[in-house]
Amino acid sequence: MPSNSTSGDGQTPSAWDRMVHARAEFARYLRTETIGGIIMLGATVLALVVANSPLDQWYFDVRDTTLGPSGLRLSVGHWAADGLLAVFFFVAGLELKRELVVGELRQWRQAALPVFAALGGMLVPALVALAIAAGAPGGSDAWPVPVATDIAFALAVLAVTASALPASVRLFLLSLAVVDDLGAILLIALLFTSNISWPALGGAIALLALYALAQKLRIRSWLIYAPIALGTWYFVYESGVHATIAGVALGLLTRVKSDPGETFPPAERMEHLFQPISAGLCVPLFAFFAAGLALSSKMLDGFASDRVVWAVLIGLVVGKFLGVLSGSFLAIKLRVAALSSDLHWRDLIALSILAGCGFTVSLLIAELAFDSADQRDRVKLAVLMGSAIASLAAAFALRLRLRARNN
């Protein structure tokens, strides 16, 4: 990294210049998958520590404190899930739009392998969870929880353990996770929407149309987009559809191709701006308020005897592995896709294990799916344990794969 002891004209930089440079460097670090994953993991560990320490009452009091204007007073934990995660899903929507228009998913032949892998990675865990939890209290609510793969966490594990593997390995995982996120988003929209307010939904659609028009007219002022985005989130929330869908919709409507003479398209500029905010603030705060579980003996006893918990745990660790691998095998067997020259079956095995990192989206679905607070906490603990087991097993498999490639 070049020295910043002097400015471009040879003069010593001012305090303002140093502050701007430090902010830019900090944002650049937050854009790396490794740093984002570490921050998210740190927030999760901190939540578990605080929730099981003398500060536990403070933690739960803060999480349950209500904030907001009249008519929109939500708990801090609710704001984290519905508000802050909307930024995370906005970034996910931008990534999905880019992949669909100019990326790996724009051509069916290229997209087929990760698409089939993602579909298998959603279907098989759901079936595994349904089979294990059938007839148990809350059993019918378990199956959506293990279908999700956490993009940030999975890419962070790959970056930490095997960054030297070919770019096609990361591209496959990213494409799989993006399609997987789309499936999870659809599940959230379909399963956790009740009593739709059509006037509010109409208001959200009108604002989304206005956003699309502003994009078409090449308007760039944030003074236009900020009120539209906030209004869209509000109307989606009021409509009864989960508010994070607003973020996805706005991301998908953002332009991803550069105009002549335009250095970066709006989607790339937005992702550059919001990805550090998502990775450094929104996702860690959600993880902090979602993962704080009081690990009492009663809870742990209930954990061992609850088939719903095992359905989620096995769905993530085993179901995801079998689903992603069988989906990939089916795509190749049907000859709709083929392995690239630098992507091998042993790579796919390791990545199929890694897909069991449900984490952020699985925690969100667990929050939405279960009415019983005790069972919800047990399921969230299963998500954390399943994601940890999948991460460690995948890290081991990726290291073995890297060693084999280097020999």
For 155, the token pair is: 């890419």
Task: State how far the Cα of 20 lies from the Cα of 41, in Å rounded to an integer.
Answer: 28
Q: Are 121 and 326 in contact (CB under 8 A)?
A: no
Where is pLDDT greater, at 260 or 23? 260
Q: Residues 147-176: what's their mean pLDDT?
A: 82
Residue-wise pLDDT for 119-142, tens only, equals 999 999 999 999 999 999 888 899
Q: Which DSSP state fits 146?
A: G
Q: Which helix (H) or strand (E) holds 385?
A: helix 373-406
Query: Is pLDDT at 2 greater than 50 in this prediction?
Result: no
Q: Which has the closest alpha carbon to 391: 293, 289, 320, 312?
A: 320
Look at residue 1 in the predicted model and tell me its pLDDT.
43
Q: Which of 288, 298, 287, 282 is nearest to 373 (CA)?
A: 298
280 secondary structure, DSSP code = I
**Amino acid 402: pLDDT:** 84
pLDDT above 80 (res 21): no
pLDDT digits (tens, 9 = 90+) for 248-260: 899 999 999 999 8
Distance CA 36, CA 120 (A): 27
CA 295 to CA 301: how far, in whole Å?
A: 10
Instruction: Output the average pLDDT for the chain.
Output: 86
pLDDT tens-digit series, residues 373-407: 889 999 999 999 999 999 999 999 999 988 887 77
- Phi, psi values for residue 75, rounded to 5°: -70, 160
CB atoms within 10 A of CB 369: 23
Rounded Cα distance, 225 and 235, in Å: 15
Tell me the Cα Rg of the chain.
22
Judge contact between 325 and 116, C-beta under 8 A.
no
CA angle 259, 264, 269 (to 5 degrees): 130
Give me the pLDDT at residue 333, please: 92
| pLDDT score, position 11 | 60
What CATH number does the domain located at 33-64+72-192+242-406 have?
1.20.1530.10
Q: Which residue has the higher pLDDT, 54 or 104?
A: 54
User: What would the pLDDT profile of 332-374 be if each residue is shown by its tens digit?
Assistant: 999 898 887 788 899 999 999 999 998 888 988 998 888 888 8
Q: Match 């993530």 to its residue by tokens.
A: 316
Domain extents for the chain?
33-64+72-192+242-406
